[in-house]
Amino acid sequence: MAAIQRQIEVNAPADKVFGYVADIPRHVEWAGHKLQITPDAAGPAAVGSTFTCVGQQMGTHRGKVTVTELAPNTRLVYESDDDTGHFRHFFLLSEEGGTTKVIKGVEPGPRSPLFKMMLPLLKATVIPRGLEGDLKRIKAKLEA
For 66, the 3-state DSSP assignment is strand
pLDDT score at 32 = 82
**d(Cα 49, Cα 40) in Å, to the nearest integer?**
8
Q: How many domains does the chain have?
A: 1
Full-model pTM: 0.88
Q: Which amino acid is at 100?
A: T
Whether the pLDDT of residue 122 is over 80: the answer is no
pLDDT score at 19 = 97
Whether the pLDDT of residue 110 is over 70: the answer is no
For 56, the 3-state DSSP assignment is strand
Whether the pLDDT of residue 82 is over 90: the answer is no
Whether the pLDDT of residue 117 is over 70: the answer is no
For 114, the 3-state DSSP assignment is helix
- DSSP 8-class letter at 124: I
What domain range includes position 29?
4-143
CATH number at residue 69: 3.30.530.20
Cα dihedral sign for 54, 56, 59, 64?
Answer: negative
User: How confident is the model over 100-117, as a mean pLDDT?
Assistant: 79
